[in-house]
Amino acid sequence: MDASPYIELRDVVFTRGNRRIFDGVSLDIPRGRITAIMGPSGTGKTTLLRLIGGQLKPDSGTITVAGENVPQLRRKALYRLREKMGMLFQSGALFTDLSVFENVAFPLRVHTALPEDMIRDIVLMKLEAVGLRGARDLMPAELSGGMTRRVALARSIALDPELIMYDEPFAGQDPIAMGVLVKLIRDLNSSMGLTSVLVSHDVPESLSICHYACIVADGQIIGDGTPEELRAHPSDRVQQFLRGHPDGPVPFHYPAAEAGQDWGLSGRERR
Amino acid sequence: MAQRTTEVIVGLFMIAGIAALMFLALQVSGLTPKAPESSYTLYANFNDAGGLTPRAKVSMAGVTVGKIREISLNRETYQARVVIDVNASVDNIPADSSAVIRTSGLLGEQYIDISVGGDMESLKDGDTFYSTQSAMNLERLISNFASGQSQ
Amino acid sequence: MNWLAERLAAFGRSGLDVIASLGRSGRFLAGALGGVPKPSVGFPLLLKQLYSVGVLSLAIIVVSGLFIGMVLGLQGYTILSDYGSEAAIGQMIALTLVRELGPVVTALLFAGRAGSALTAEIGLMKTTEQLSSMEMMGVDPLRRVIAPRLWAGFISVPILAAVFSVVGIWGGMLVGVEWLGVFEGSFWGNMQSSVSFASDVMNGVIKSIVFGFVCTWIAVYQGYDCVPTSAGISSATTKTVVYSSLAVLGLDFVLTAVMFGDF
């Protein structure tokens, strides 16, 4: 297998409004492996996926996917590259006016000229892979949260992509649904050799399936390596995040004025 | 909904739109679908064309037989020169007929009425009405009457 | 002084925001209408939108048209009978409907009925990441989702306006001829002698084409550009109706001045 990384980020800077979300992030995502990107909420993990998918453009830096520099691609080339990518959105993002079957068939109908019976076979195969072949005639509104995500997963692998990105796949799932998703992500990676990028703040689940992980905070990567390396990482911030301590280098309190001032107890007020 | 049903309903919707436009054209604006009837041209000179406008109707005995094409000023005689298109089917207007400007109703629009004469000859394409009667100007009539003048 | 400078700066910024938003909506329109889709893909999508945007608006258009025509008949009769010229009622109803009320009221009703629905639908698709996921599947949502809705609006409004005028005239005839006893011959005769196809009917059609274009554009753009939250969708829907109504009434004045003004 090709040893070069599938995705390379070099010195990526991205600001939204006045907020600097990434300040010189460099990251390699290896081919055919599961990479977890973890970090506290609001650190722009989803933004990172959108940068990789070319939906957002960085202020500076390069993002290379499968040897192509994403921010500089023309519209057509970008859309062609995206056919090699699958993305599982947090909400599933199923098309609400189409049935489960038609949702999974959608990318096939748009990008291929396959005959109808072939599309049917592929769709049922993909639905079988996520265990929902029986749900093909349901509408998205009739599905539970976990099922929605599984259908969305079937849709993202319909075109047999090389890369699949999961945006918070475990958020808000019950333990069973979570277990199903963990199994699916692992199976898809091992059986299809997909390069998988997983964005999550669920530490135990993510570390249990990934081959490689990195932790993002304050616009920087504060720690990366295999799960074992991370568990033994010397940085206090990494340890605080992995163990979930409420206070530490990432403070419990949002930055505020001296407590005394807010309660009228500061020195100046006291005469 | 089945694709076929949607197709049929949308098709009916489009037909309704076209039918509505046809109705506006034919029934409301009186556009006739038949090719414009062939016509011949007559001229009439008036001392006062009043409120006469192009496209106004030209009638005989209350029946529309043509329309006004153009109104212009004759620079030599200082008269209004009106070009009239008369339907080709009405080819027997006696040569001594006169063109009279009339008003439909008290405040309605003005049109030309042809009062039929008794000549055996008929007006031909390019002929001019021998006698005309100008627009009745209500204001002038009243002011003349008030100052005791008579025309 | 400082306060004034800040106010001025804020004013300038909001002005720039408006201009930027106009620019975005122009780029949006170009992106949506730029490519020519394959007919086999585009036609079924357009058909579906024609149904939901056009056909489903037909009921409100027909009912409103009927009532407006009947009101015109009643009011016109009352005023015209003072001058003894009830016969001119057909002419009055037809000109009012064909030139003004048909295109304008249709566009206003369309903005309220179909425009707000378009905004909410697209806004919700954006909020639930359906547009994003389409983009990530290598399908341009501007062409797939937006373009068919735009075309459906452009096609539907002139049709709806023509239907509105016809139903209105029929309603006016119902009141004038059937109830108030105006002679039917003079009703139609007066109408036909004063309504011209080229200048009245066609100008009305041109107006409705312009209004349909503007209303649909505003509706679809507001949905696409909305802040992806429930509050964002609700404010975008409100904006659609307000902006469409203002644009229609303002443009109506401009178009009327150009078409019927004597200069």
Model confidence at B33, pLDDT cuts 50, 70, 90, reads low
Chain A residues with CB under 8 Å of C139 CB are: 79, 107, 110
Q: What span, in angstroms and rounded, lies between the C-alpha atoms of C165 and C178? A: 19
* Inter-chain residue contact B24 with C87, CB threshold 8 Å: no
Model confidence at B108, pLDDT cuts 50, 70, 90, reads low
Model confidence at B151, pLDDT cuts 50, 70, 90, reads very low
Model confidence at B98, pLDDT cuts 50, 70, 90, reads confident
A47, two tokens: 């933004």
pTM score: 0.77
DSSP β-ladder status, B98-103 and B110-115: antiparallel
Model confidence at B3, pLDDT cuts 50, 70, 90, reads confident
Task: Give residue-wise pLDDT tens across range A69-87.
Answer: 888 888 888 888 888 888 8
B6 strand-pairing partners: none
Q: What span, in angstroms and rounded, lies between the C-alpha atoms of A197 and C164? A: 56
The set of chains that have 3 or more CB pairs under 8 A with B is C
* Inter-chain residue contact C129 with A93, CB threshold 8 Å: yes
Is the model more confident about C109 or about A270?
C109
Q: What span, in angstroms and rounded, lies between the C-alpha atoms of A237 and B44? A: 103
**Residue of B10, B21, B25 with shortest CB distance to C55:** B10
What is the value of ipTM here, to two decimals? 0.77
* Inter-chain residue contact C195 with B23, CB threshold 8 Å: no
Q: Is residue A32 classed as helix, strand or coil in its secondary structure?
A: coil
Q: What span, in angstroms and rounded, lies between the C-alpha atoms of A154 and A132? A: 9
Q: Answer yes or no: is pLDDT of C109 > 60.
A: yes
Q: Answer yes or no: is pLDDT of B106 > 70.
A: no
Q: What span, in angstroms and rounded, lies between the C-alpha atoms of A88 and A53? A: 12
Q: Is residue A7 classed as helix, strand or coil in its secondary structure?
A: strand
Task: Give residue-wise pLDDT tens across range A38-70.
Answer: 887 777 788 888 888 888 888 888 888 888 888
In one-letter notation, the amino acid at residue C113 is R
Q: Answer yes or no: is pLDDT of B34 > 60.
A: no
Q: Which of residues 171-210 of C touch B (CB under 8 A)?
A: 188, 191-197, 200-201, 204-205
User: How does the average pLDDT of chain A come out, rounded?
Assistant: 83
Task: Give residue-wise pLDDT tens across range A208-264.
Answer: 888 888 888 878 888 888 888 888 877 877 788 888 777 777 667 777 777 777 777
Q: What is the pLDDT of residue C233?
A: 94
Q: What span, in angstroms and rounded, lies between the C-alpha atoms of B55 and B70? A: 8
Task: Give residue-wise pLDDT tens across range A160-183.
Answer: 888 889 888 887 778 888 888 888
Q: C touches B (3+ CB pairs < 8 Å)?
A: yes
Cα R_g (chain C), whole angstroms: 22
Long-range contacts of B117-123 (CB under 8 A, 24+ apart): B118/B94, B119/B94, B119/B95, B120/B94, B121/B94, B121/B95, B122/B91, B122/B92, B122/B93, B122/B94, B122/B95, B123/B42, B123/B93, B123/B94, B123/B95, B123/B97
CB contact C47 to B (< 8 Å): yes
Q: What is the pLDDT of residue B68?
A: 85
CB contact A157 to C (< 8 Å): no
